[in-house]
């Protein structure tokens, strides 16, 4: 009996030679999974190609690996790859596997505000329904910030002038769904199986892992399909009526550039952004009630697109993983520290770009440096961190203190890179249109964050899913 979840790429190539797929999707992270689901719901026949393996079939925190951090890190490292920085070192880490980076994501799910969509070819009104869908799919809740612990944190922060609120978090917090045990942190792979499992079983969505797409077949302004390297050295073609790039911010850019997509204004790969990432675990004496085992997720949204935001997780490490099952005993040890994180968008400029190079995952070279504007944004974050930690009575646990440069992660370490296949209405200044179609190859679509024309301080994951859902519905209508 064939494995319904895993299809040999040779079978896909043979099948498509006789009858092309409606769409081939490159990359099975949250954007690719969302696109496959929507196309299948509209009766389209889809091939979903993932270069990496399928290490497990749910978010890592929904498995008992959360009780074994060393083993969990080993699983992550097995699917990890790192693009090189032109100046030396690497541009963070990415994960090549079925489910993508979302299998290891922490669950933060804020929406972009109207101000944060400045410079986009559509606004908040066009995304409201898409956000509603994404929040339902990921079971987003604010309940983790609405208990007594969250109330104490929010109250102190508001007294200090911070617009703190319960944090939106992708977590099924119910003890049961109707007659069923509940699940933990949401993931794209989780809702894909929940909502598209029947389509996979019936063959409407065919999934192939270990399948690296070398290039898109582009001829006379039309995408004809893809060229893949399967489990081994075989080079095969998979014809399709449309091709969707969802391989992540760096890999989607690389594939477009290597495929000879027309780029008369040299825009492909230009204007890469990511987040300045401030991170720390701080001792929180007196914050936790020793009698009540409770967690809290608190969010302070950015006031503007060029501002910064805060996420607070209490207790920091224990919220996501614990080494063994231990009782609730708040003390000064690491499990009861509070994690604070701040993001701010780096300046949008052509000097930060992706240089495409042949090869597997991570073969592209990233040219990326921080500008004077970025350094000024870091200074504002530090000043804000000093006010925030004072308001909560937090104490540094390492030599970096509150204001040390080590509080900021290196370029690429936010995992939030975006841009380079920017959406826009003008083909002279953008690469794709509002539906993700490449201006010069209209049946080639960019579905992931590579098409974001700008990012704000907000965690982009929910917006990636919402925008992918919007683009997939538009593609389904065109394929009809």
- pTM of the predicted model, to two decimals? 0.96
Average pLDDT over residues 403-427: 96
Q: For 136-192, what is each residue's pLDDT tens digit?
A: 999 999 999 999 999 999 999 999 999 999 999 999 888 766 676 677 889 999 999
pLDDT at res. 471: 98
The encoded tokens of residue 75 equal: 């699983």
The encoded tokens of residue 426 equal: 């003008």
pLDDT exceeds cutoff 50 at 51: yes
pLDDT at res. 79: 94
Contacts 24+ apart (CB under 8 A), 199-205: 199/37, 199/40, 199/41, 200/4, 200/5, 201/4, 203/4, 204/40, 204/43, 204/44, 204/45, 204/46, 205/36, 205/37, 205/40, 205/46, 205/47, 205/48
Q: For 192-238, what is each residue's pLDDT tens digit?
A: 999 999 999 999 999 999 999 999 999 999 999 999 986 666 789 99
| pLDDT band at 13; cut points 50, 70, 90 | very high
Helix ranges (DSSP H) in 203-286: 249-258
Question: What are the residues whose beta carbons fall under 8 Å from the beta carbon of 429, sequence distance 6 or more?
Answer: 265, 267, 422
pLDDT at res. 1: 37
The beta-strand segments (E) located in 21-110 are: 23-26, 46-49, 80-81, 84-85, 94-95
Handedness of CA 70, 75, 78, 82 (dihedral sign): negative
pLDDT exceeds cutoff 60 at 322: no
DSSP tag of 356: -
pLDDT at res. 233: 65
| Percentage of the chain lying above the pLDDT 70 cut | 96
Q: Compute how many other C-beta atoms are within 10 angstroms of the C-beta atom of residue 335.
A: 17
pLDDT exceeds cutoff 90 at 450: yes
Q: Quick one: residue 43, left, alpha or beta (phi over 0 = left, psi -120 to 50 = alpha)? A: left
Q: Compute how many other C-beta atoms are within 10 angstroms of the C-beta atom of residue 304.
A: 12
pLDDT at res. 63: 87
pLDDT exceeds cutoff 90 at 97: yes
pLDDT exceeds cutoff 60 at 323: no
Question: What are the residues whose beta carbons fall under 8 Å from the beta carbon of 237, sequence distance 6 or more?
Answer: 13, 16, 17, 217, 225, 226, 227, 228
Q: Contact at 8 Å (CB) between 243 and 24?
A: yes
Domains of the chain plus CATH, in order, are 1-139+183-271+349-364+417-480 (3.50.50.60), 142-177+275-345+370-410 (3.30.410)
Listed range (1-5, 270-274, 437-441) with the worst mean pLDDT:
1-5
pLDDT at res. 6: 87
pLDDT at res. 330: 84
Q: Contact at 8 Å (CB) between 239 and 20?
A: yes
pLDDT at res. 480: 84
The beta-strand segments (E) located in 35-185 are: 46-49, 80-81, 84-85, 94-95, 140-141, 165-166, 169-170, 176-177, 180-181
């Amino acid at each position: 009996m064939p494995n319904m979840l895993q299809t040999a790429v040779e079978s896909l190539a043979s099948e498509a030679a006789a009858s092309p797929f409606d769409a081939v999707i490159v990359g099975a992270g949250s954007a690719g999974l969302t696109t496959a689901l929507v196309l299948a719901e509209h009766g389209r026949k889809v091939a979903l190609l993932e270069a990496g393996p399928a290490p497990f079939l749910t978010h890592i925190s929904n498995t008992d690996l959360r009780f074994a951090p060393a083993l969990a890190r080993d699983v992550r490292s097995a699917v990890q790859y790192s693009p090189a920085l032109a100046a030396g070192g690497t541009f963070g880490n990415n994960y090549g596997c079925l489910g993508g980076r979302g299998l290891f994501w922490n669950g933060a799910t804020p929406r972009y505000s109207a101000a944060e969509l400045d410079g986009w070819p559509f606004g908040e009104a066009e995304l409201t329904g898409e956000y509603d869908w994404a929040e339902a799919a990921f079971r987003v809740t604010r309940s983790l910030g609405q208990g007594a612990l969250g109330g104490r944190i929010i109250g102190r922060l508001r007294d200090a002038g911070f617009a703190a609120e319960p944090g939106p978090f992708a977590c099924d917090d119910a003890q049961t769904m109707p007659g069923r045990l509940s699940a933990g942190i949401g993931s794209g792979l989780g809702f894909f199986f929940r909502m598209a499992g029947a389509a996979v079983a019936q063959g409407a969505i065919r999934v192939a892992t270990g399948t690296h797409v070398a290039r898109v077949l582009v001829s006379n302004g039309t995408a004809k399909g893809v060229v893949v390297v399967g489990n081994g050295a075989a080079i095969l073609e998979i014809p399709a009526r449309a091709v969707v790039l969802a391989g992540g911010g760096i890999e989607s850019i690389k594939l477009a550039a290597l495929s000879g997509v027309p780029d008369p204004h040299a825009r492909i790969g230009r204007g890469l952004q990511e987040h300045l990432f401030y991170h720390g675990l701080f001792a929180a004496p007196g914050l936790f009630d020793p009698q009540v085992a409770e967690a809290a997720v608190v969010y302070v949204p950015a006031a503007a697109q060029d501002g910064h935001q805060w996420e607070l997780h209490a207790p920091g490490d224990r919220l996501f993983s614990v080494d063994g099952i231990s009782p609730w005993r708040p003390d000064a040890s690491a499990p009861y520290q509070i994690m604070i994180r701040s993001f701010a968008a780096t300046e949008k400029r052509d000097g930060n770009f992706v240089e495409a190079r042949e090869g597997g995952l991570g073969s592209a070279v990233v040219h990326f440096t921080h500008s004077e504007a970025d350094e000024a944004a870091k200074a504002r974050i530090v000043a804000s961190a000093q006010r925030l930690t004072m308001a909560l009575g937090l104490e540094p646990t390492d030599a970096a203190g509150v204001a040390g440069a080590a509080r900021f992660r290196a370029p690429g370490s936010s995992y939030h890179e975006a841009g380079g296949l920017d959406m826009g209405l003008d083909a002279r200044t953008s690469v794709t249109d509002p539906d993700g179609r490449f201006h010069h190859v209209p049946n080639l679509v960019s579905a992931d964050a590579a098409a974001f024309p700008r990012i704000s301080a907000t965690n982009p994951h929910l917006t990636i899913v919402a925008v992918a859902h919007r683009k997939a519905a538009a593609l389904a209508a065109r394929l009809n």
